[in-house]
Amino acid sequence: MTPGRAVWNELVTTDLESAKRFYGGLFGWTFRDIEIRRGRYTVASRDGERVGSIFQPRDGSIGNPSQWVTYFSVESVDDTAHAAEERGAKVVLRPVDVPGRGREALLVDPEGAPFALIRPTGGDPPAREPPVNAWLWVELWCHSPEAAGRFYGGLFDLQPRALEIAGTQYHVLERAEHSYAGFIQLLDDVRPNWLPVVRVADAEMVATRAAELGGRVVLSPSDASPPGSAAIVMDPTGAAVAVQVWPVPVPEVRAARAGKP
């Protein structure tokens, strides 16, 4: 186990079939539906390897627009959930054992961003360079990166650090020179949320394809830094996901993420 490492992403959606068409068409993912009592559930794979899951609650109510939820590995889900509550978080779903996945819990941090804890069955997946169309990174878009750094740093025993990238302050969580996540300050009235990032070969092409598939481009590649290197798109159900060309031709960005385990 590597506490604080993002090991899974799950889309909680209002329309599973629409989400499957979008992400299958965008990233070439394939899907395997699994029967569960609480709703509709499918596992997404890339070249035969699992990359994430999509869940549509049976009651049709998820409380917010569709969104991706990041799962962080911890040694003890119960102890970490309790510590999070003491630090001002809310536990939405108490720790539970999920067959084939491990023990997990769903929380909302002090600013309102949902996240999950998991102790995966069999341990964390192997650490390796992510292939194209798989998860590269995860960022928390929040109102106070400093406060978020203290919360998550204390929760996962990670050290927050502020960097200067292209004239903008960027915060990361580190341990022993490895980077685990980034924090970006929100400049408007947007609800804080963890934003997972997919590695792509061509951000412009992905943004164009996302629009063709019924999604919406929230941040165009031309507005990224450097231009053409990244984009943020919203799927037809309202969930946002970022895409990033890697490596990025900006030394500071490479330095922030190069040690990602």
Which domains, from first to last, does the chain contain? 6-120 (3.10.180.10), 135-257 (3.10.180.10)
What's this model's pTM, rounded to 2 decimal places? 0.92
Kindly state the percentage of the chain with pLDDT values over 90. 77
The pLDDT tens digits of the residues spanning 65-117 come to 799 999 999 999 999 999 999 999 999 999 999 988 899 999 999 999 999 99
pLDDT exceeds 90 at position 250: no
Print the SS3 string covering the chain. CCCCCEEEEEEECCCHHHHHHHHHHHHCCEEEEEECCCEEEEEEEECCEEEEEEEEECCCCCCCCCEEEEEEECCCHHHHHHHHHHCCCEEEEEEEEECCCEEEEEEECCCCCEEEEEEECCCCCCCCCCCCCCEEEEEEEECCHHHHHHHHHHHHCCEEEEEEECCEEEEEEEECCEEEEEEEECCCCCCCEEEEEEEECCHHHHHHHHHHCCCEEEECHHHCCCCCCEEEEECCCCCEEEEEECCCCCHHHHHHHCCCC
Looking at every residue in the chain, the average pLDDT score rounds to 91
The pLDDT tens digits of the residues spanning 8-36 come to 999 999 999 999 999 999 999 999 999 88
